[in-house]
Amino acid sequence: AQSVTQLGSHVSVSEGALVLLRCNYSSSVPPYLFWYVQYPNQGLQLLLKYTSAATLVKGINGFEAEFKKSETSFHLTKPSAHMSDAAEYFCAVSEGSSGDKLTFGTGTRLAVRP
């Protein structure tokens, strides 16, 4: 069984500040990990994914995440927040190469203050 925990259902940062959204996972097999972003009333857009290659993964819109096996974490960061980053962010895990479905965290809503 696999699970995802996202610490902090709401995060607020100032424009230009560092964004850090936390994700911890559990998986009985080497996982694949994903971050998705959801804007209001829209579907999910893939930000980045880890599939057992480089542990530091760069995604779209300046986001990146680092896979840390020892900490079972896959935190999402961005050096400087933009107003357009305000959205809900979901971390998800699948059972590596044999996985055919995603298990999602409950999401973190990011607010960006001017």
Partner 1 sequence: NAGVMQNPRHLVRRRGQEARLRCSPMKGHSHVYWYRQLPEEGLKFMVYLQKENIIDESGMPKERFSAEFPKEGPSILRIQQVVRGDSAAYFCASSQDKTTAYGYTFGSGTRLTVV
Binding site for partner 1 (CB under 8 A): 4, 32, 34, 36, 41-46, 49, 51, 90, 92, 94, 97-107
User: Cβ of residue 17: shortest distance to partner 1, in angstroms?
Assistant: 25
- Of the pair 51, 72, the CB lying nearest partner 1 is at 51
23 Cβ contact list (under 8 Å, min separation 6)? 4, 5, 6, 33, 35, 65, 73, 74, 75, 76, 91, 105
User: Cβ of residue 38: shortest distance to partner 1, in angstroms?
Assistant: 9
- C-alpha separations of 74 from 40, 66, 100 in Å: 24, 5, 20
- Of the pair 18, 54, the CB lying nearest partner 1 is at 54
Please list the helix, strand and coil fractions of the chain in percent, rounded to the nearest 5, in that order.
Answer: 10, 50, 40
User: Cβ of residue 13: shortest distance to partner 1, in angstroms?
Assistant: 21
User: Cβ of residue 59: shortest distance to partner 1, in angstroms?
Assistant: 10
- Of the pair 17, 51, the CB lying nearest partner 1 is at 51
- Of the pair 80, 97, the CB lying nearest partner 1 is at 97
